[in-house]
Structure 1
Amino acid sequence: MEYARSLVIVEDDATFARALQRSFERRGYRVQLAAGPEDLDVLLDRDIPGFAVVDLKLKAASGLPCVQMLHARDPAMRIVVLTGFASITTAVEAIKLGACHYLAKPSNTDDIEAAFERVTGNPDVAVTNRSTASIRTLEWERINEMLVETGFNISETARRLGMHRRTLARKLEKRVIP
């Protein structure tokens, strides 16, 4: 059974997921929660929602396979990826896999609902000069590229980047979005 305003939230932070759920339910959505790919697979066997919100980092896993799974079940589904680990690489991959939008946390229900509506690109968006990118920004993007390549394996990412695992873990805990 498909419900026009049905939504699945794929989020491993139960508190944040419940807050989003309540907010969307007040707006008239029927909301289901999934903590990861396994829960999502079971949920999709029962129901195909029209909308989805997927966290990019689910415990030690990536949310990108969830985006791919959702898009495979219904290519018309509006999928928004939320992340505290924003990078160009993961944004591009999310869009290639079927997401209609990619938002950095903190994002609220208004931001997400607006993203559901913005499925076409904007040719008038300003093109900025990347030559002024800070070293921190470049480092953050490289870390995120490597996280995606290693399937969010922190030990392997640290090894490939030539840094200690604890140093990388501290950088990731800060969740600084440049």
Structure 2
Amino acid sequence: MNKLLIIEDDLALAAILARRLGKQGFECKTCHHASDSLLMARQFFPTHIVLDMKLADHNGLSLIKPLRQLLPHVHMVLLTGFASIATAVEAIRLGADNYLAKPVDTQTLLNALSVTAETTTYDAIGEQPLTPKRVEWEHIQQVLANNNGNVSETARQLGMHRRTLQRKLLKKPTADNR
């Protein structure tokens, strides 16, 4: 049986994912805190992990390497509400097998969990060329990541007013912006 560890701080979403994926044959356990995730992974020894990128006061990206070292053959999918090419590349570089943007339907998540490393697909990265709005969004996300989330410093580096940057950050990219 496939064992799935869901590391998600949104208790309702974690319960929904566990229920839906449990119906698909996974034995599911949930973990809501980054600090407990490695211990739970060591005790449960999952074959699959669904990891949220933003965990309350932690970044899920920082858990990828330790989880990968503990469970080298686990199939890991990173979920995020703020998808960007920069974070997708970083997640894969750190060892995640797949990267999906929230909200994600059950079938898409199942497909991501069953994909092998050789055929990994990235929900956040499409085959079509990026629109100018999407390129701007990706660039802003990259500069913001380089500044550890500091909006004021990011605005200075981008040569824009901080409020303008904050408005742009509130606008999430849509599928047609890809």
- Tell me the SS of whatever aligns to 2:78: strand
Q: 1:77 aligns with which of 68, 74, 97?
A: 74
Q: Is the 8 A contact 2:92 2:98 kept in 1?
A: yes
Q: 1:154 to 1:47 in 2, by over 3 A?
A: farther
State whether structure 2 residue 45 is matched by structure 1 residue 48.
yes
State whether structure 2 residue 94 is matched by structure 1 residue 97.
yes
State whether structure 2 residue 141 is matched by structure 1 residue 144.
yes
- Percent of residue pairs bearing the same amino acid type: 39
Trace 1:113-132 onto structure 2 (pairs within 5 A): 113-122=110-119, 130=129
Determine the structure 2 residue equivalent to 1:106. Answer: 103
Q: Is the 8 A contact 1:146 1:157 kept in 2?
A: yes
Q: 1:49 to 1:172 in 2, by over 3 A?
A: farther
Aligned counterparts of 1:35 and 1:161: Cα–Cα separation in 2:
35
Aligned counterparts of 1:114 and 1:129: Cα–Cα separation in 2:
21
Spell out, residue by residue over 1:23-65, the C-alpha distance to the aligned partner (whole angstroms, 9 max, x if none).
Answer: 1122232222223421213323422211011122233532111
Q: 1:59 to 1:168 in 2, by over 3 A?
A: farther
Q: CA deviation at 1:154?
A: 4.7
Aligned counterparts of 1:165 and 1:140: Cα–Cα separation in 2:
15
Aligned counterparts of 1:41 and 1:67: Cα–Cα separation in 2:
10
Aligned counterparts of 2:161 and 2:59: Cα–Cα separation in 1:
22
RCO higher in structure (CA 8 A, sep ≥6): 1
Amino acid in the other structure paired with 2:11: A
Unmatched 5+ stretches in structure 1 = none
> Structure 1 residues 165-174 or 18-27, which shifts more?
165-174
TM-score by length of 1: 0.78
Determine the structure 2 residue equivalent to 1:59. Answer: 56
- Tell me the SS of whatever aligns to 1:12: coil
Amino acid in the other structure paired with 1:112: L
Unmatched 5+ stretches in structure 2 = 121-125
Aligned residues: 170
Spell out, residue by residue over 1:74-100, the C-alpha distance to the aligned partner (whole angstroms, 9 max, x if none).
Answer: 111000111222222211111121111
Determine the structure 2 residue equivalent to 1:10. Answer: 7
Q: 1:50 to 1:139 in 2, by over 3 A?
A: same
